[in-house]
Structure 1
Amino acid sequence: MMNNNFNRREVLKLSGLAGLAMALSPVLSAFNFKDTMLQRKIPLSNQLLPVVGLGTWQTFDVGNSNADRKRLTQVLLEMKKLGGKVIDSSPMYGSSERVVGDLTSTNNFNKDFFYATKVWTSGKEAGINQMNSSFKLMKRKQMDLMQIHNLVDWRVHVKTLKDWKEQGKIKYWGITHYTDASHYRLENVIKAEKPDFVQFNYSIRSRHAEKSLFETIRKNNTAVLINRPYESGSLFRHVKGKALPEWVKEYDINSWGQFFLKFIVSNELVTCVIPGTSKPHHAIDNMMAGYGKMPDEKTREKMYNFIKNI
């Protein structure tokens, strides 16, 4: 009998992922999931987005390496097969934008994803030049989401992004940061400028956003992307050698990765979480967190307390 309490290395340890459908079968059978991944509406438009996507910081910064690009192509294929859409990048992430653009365009599924990137520089013209470069690198005529990375020179870039949205060059615009200390700044910008999206850090042990940021998001109908869901891997180190509690099986949780992600996406104000990975079996494991029964509020607190007391 197959043990369903997988860790990140054990989930689908396949030989090059050959015969994927067959290998997936026993793992997927452990799930009570519907035909499609859970989706949430972007409040502004009611467009639906699947709740698990993909971040590209470090993981897609592989330059021209054929071996790495082949593996990342498989990551994108598995993501697509299991219903993920959002790919988030930035000029800050080295060659990631170019790699995303190359892989999605050469593999004929460039229309299957929701493309998000960022502006990460100061000054109006520098911002325009950088964003135009991102369009070329990611091979996009229209960017689904352009964000102001870590609020760098946000007052200047907001004007450009609002103009570009009116022109149809971008579909949505947003703001981002990755630290608890930035949350109040994000709230102030949300209240003042009404961005379509906000991206920030949130995880089972890092819940600062619950103090007031989520309430500001609710009041302003802002879509949410979540970064740092695994706290840069420290969550996996925290549970190393520990077994999943038996009661999580009721919520179709079969790995620690799914445990951490389901805590996040069970928050109904979260539109999509964007864990980064360069490994196909991790991508599969991540996507599975969007399927099956979601924890309710009482269970979320039970999950938090379990992790806190390990």
Structure 2
Amino acid sequence: MTSLTRKEFLKLTGAAGLTLAGGLTTPAVAGTFITKMLKKPIPVSGELLPVVGFGTSQVFNVGRSEEERAPLLETLKVLYEAGGSMIDTAPMYGPAEAVVGDLVARLNTRNKSFIATKVLQNGKQEGIDQMEASFRKLKTSQVDLMQVHNLVDWEIQLETLREMKEKKKIRYIGITHYTDSGTEELIKIMKKEQLDFVQCQYAMNARLVEEELLPLAMERKIAVIVNRPFGRGALFRQVKGKSLPDWAGEMDITSWAQYFLKYLLGHPAVNCVIPGTGRPDYARDNVMAGMSPLPDEKQRKRMLEYLQTL
């Protein structure tokens, strides 16, 4: 089976009646998805969350011009058209929160969005002030998920998050880190505290969380959001010029991005992946990973073994 670049995939999915390599029929016709994204339940509530969302770090760090924001608006449209909802942002991502707030308001899609943001401050009042600013920038009176970012002053901030949850200003609480170096501390907090979500780094070339964090999340009924699912781009560099295996079509995989994302989503502990992109063509490629059945453990092992031969 010949691997498709993201650009080639977009050309195929943007036209009616075309088929993908290996004989797969495109699930999108004239820009509209025939099927909707798979969902997994949030353990603490049972609420169903679409499995592919978008991260906004760097890519939503833009100005106010129509030229800069137009691709981001189209990217969000792809997410909603696919049945997705998760948008993850943070006040330390430059103007990203305000951009998200403006675009969601422009699309009138707050009721279709699961908005997650973060707090990174030392001190109780400082944390409250930052979160109140986030509400204003996001143009919402309630955030779906508030996370203690990189575990900064996590004991104080979690206390505040619980108070805000009781007041229904936030729906879920969580903690985050984006490197393997934070995994040990994430695990310690997960064992000690009752959390709704944990966000961590996980990729086919960064699998430390498979050892203890992911099994613990299942045991403690904590939803898992995956950041950096492409290993900061290293996975794409590894497979450059390489073909997908012939059997990838059996899992409706038509690109390497989908290959990488489906492997992660096949783990029973993972609720959602949040690749960051501001390009509609990449967005369409990413959401396709959540459109069909996910690989079981045997298939995931096969996927990993193949990648390791490249």
Q: TM-score, normalised by structure 2?
A: 0.93
* Code of the aligned partner of 2:42: I
* Code of the aligned partner of 1:150: N
* Code of the aligned partner of 2:8: E
Paired position in structure 2 for 1:218: 218
What is the CA–CA distance in structure 2 between the aligned matches of 1:174 and 1:24, rounded to whole Å?
A: 43
* Code of the aligned partner of 2:9: V
Q: Deviations over 1:43-100 (max 9, x none)?
A: 1110000100000000100121321211100000011001111000001100100000
1:11 corresponds to 2:31: no
* Code of the aligned partner of 1:7: T
What is the CA–CA distance in structure 1 between the aligned matches of 2:11 and 2:26, rounded to whole Å?
A: 16
Q: CA deviation at 1:36?
A: 2.5
Q: CA deviation at 1:9?
A: 2.7
Paired position in structure 2 for 1:268: 268
Decide whether the 8 Å contact of 2:27 with 2:34 is kept in 1.
Answer: no
Q: CA deviation at 1:13?
A: 3.9
* Code of the aligned partner of 2:110: N
How does 1:123-134 map onto structure 2 within 5 Å? 123-134=123-134
Other structure's SS at 2:150 match: helix
Other structure's SS at 1:91 match: coil
1:297 corresponds to 2:261: no
Greater shift, 31-40 or 135-144, is seen at: 31-40
Q: CA deviation at 1:26?
A: 4.1
1:155 corresponds to 2:155: yes
Structure 2 segments unaligned to the other structure (5+ residues): none
How does 1:49-88 map onto structure 2 within 5 Å? 49-88=49-88
Paired position in structure 2 for 1:172: 172
Could you tell me the percent identity over the aligned residues? 46
Paired position in structure 2 for 1:190: 190
Other structure's SS at 1:232 match: helix
Paired position in structure 2 for 1:239: 239
Q: Deviations over 1:189-243 (max 9, x none)?
A: 1111111000000111111001111121111100110000001111111111111
What is the CA–CA distance in structure 1 between the aligned matches of 2:54 and 2:214, rounded to whole Å?
A: 22
Taking a change above 3 Å as real, the CA distance of residues 257 and 35 of structure 1, as seen in their structure-2 partners, is same
Which of the numbers 26, 29, 33 marks the counterpart of 2:25? Answer: 29
What is the CA–CA distance in structure 2 between the aligned matches of 1:139 and 1:299, rounded to whole Å?
A: 43
Q: CA deviation at 1:30?
A: 4.0
What is the CA–CA distance in structure 1 between the aligned matches of 2:227 and 2:221, rounded to whole Å?
A: 19
- Superposed CA RMSD in Å reads 2.0
Other structure's SS at 2:188 match: helix
Decide whether the 8 Å contact of 1:12 with 1:24 is kept in 2.
Answer: no
What is the CA–CA distance in structure 2 between the aligned matches of 1:186 and 1:52, rounded to whole Å?
A: 22
What is the CA–CA distance in structure 2 between the aligned matches of 1:25 and 1:197, rounded to whole Å?
A: 40
Structure 1 segments unaligned to the other structure (5+ residues): none
Taking a change above 3 Å as real, the CA distance of residues 178 and 24 of structure 1, as seen in their structure-2 partners, is farther
Q: Deviations over 1:122-163 (max 9, x none)?
A: 111110000000000011111000000000110110110000
* Number of residues of Structure 1 aligned to a counterpart in Structure 2: 303
* Code of the aligned partner of 1:281: D
What is the CA–CA distance in structure 2 between the aligned matches of 1:117 and 1:12, rounded to whole Å?
A: 30
Q: CA deviation at 1:10?
A: 2.1
